[in-house]
Chains A and B, each alone.
Chain A
Amino acid sequence: AQSVTQPDIHITVSEGASLELRCNYSYGATPYLFWYVQSPGQGLQLLLKYFSGDTLVQGIKGFEAEFKRSQSSFNLRKPSVHWSDAAEYFCAVDLKRGGSQGNLIFGKGTKLSVKP
């Protein structure tokens, strides 16, 4: 069955430190891959996505992610974390079913805390 795994439930980093959030997927083909961020009590906002092509993708707020087919991974990175980055981060896969995309399967999420 298709699945998305985020092995880290909670990560704490110091402000200004680098960040890497891990994501692995299980899917027969290369799916569409996404990272979304959710602040407390809010909806989700797209950070970045991968469809095909260059395996290093840039997103908003200084985030980037690298797709590694051999490892079925799509890890999110940021070189210097800001306090405002504290939020829940979800990796997601679009299964491309039903003729219309947007059928997302989410990982369980990684909660990011930022120390001053």
Chain B
Amino acid sequence: DTEVTQTPKHLVMGMTNKKSLKCEQHMGHRAMYWYKQKAKKPPELMFVYSYEKLSINESVPSRFSPECPNSSLLNLHLHALQPEDSALYLCASSQARASSYTGELFFGEGSRLTVL
């Protein structure tokens, strides 16, 4: 069983909709990540939160807005998306401090987004 839970598993939205993807972990990890994976492609890093602060934004368009309300939760707010944004969105978590970093990212099963 995955210890990173993502909801919803599937989401269909129009280009004018506002929706959110949610991610939750209870492993005490203080780093959380959003990755985007297009079909038959590798995951691509979007955002990294470390101790609830945004530490990396990989030049993601502003129609994607991340939020980390506490150490267990990570949201991705979606607004005015384009059809090319259709993808599997993966959340992951890991230990954050260098001294305790084991190298393992724990991934959720993803939220499959379709933009019409």
Residues of A within 8 A of B (CB): 32, 34, 41-46, 49, 51, 90, 94, 97-109
Contacts and interface: CB of A to CB of B under 8 A. Distances in A.
Say what secondary structure dominates the interface of chain A.
Answer: loop
Contacts of A108: 41-42
For A34, A43, A97, A105, which residue has the most chain B Cβ atoms within 10 angstroms? A43
B109 interface: yes
A92 B55 CA distance: 20
Interface residues of B, number: 26
For B43, B90, B110, which residue has the most chain A Cβ atoms within 10 angstroms? B43
Interface stretch (B14-22, B62-70, B74-82, B100-108): B100-108
Interface of B: 2, 4, 31, 33, 41-45, 48, 50, 55-56, 90, 92, 94, 96, 98, 101, 103-105, 107-110
Given A49-B104, A51-B103, A103 B45 contact: yes
A43 B110 contact: yes
A52 to B, nearest CB: 11
A106 B105 contact: no
Nearest to B110: A43
B103 A32 contact: yes
B48 A45 contact: no
B42 A109 contact: yes
Contact of B56 (A41, A51, A103, A106): A103
Contacts of B96: 100
A102 B109 contact: no
A42 B108 CA distance: 8
A92 B108 CA distance: 17
A43 B56 contact: no
A101 B55 contact: no
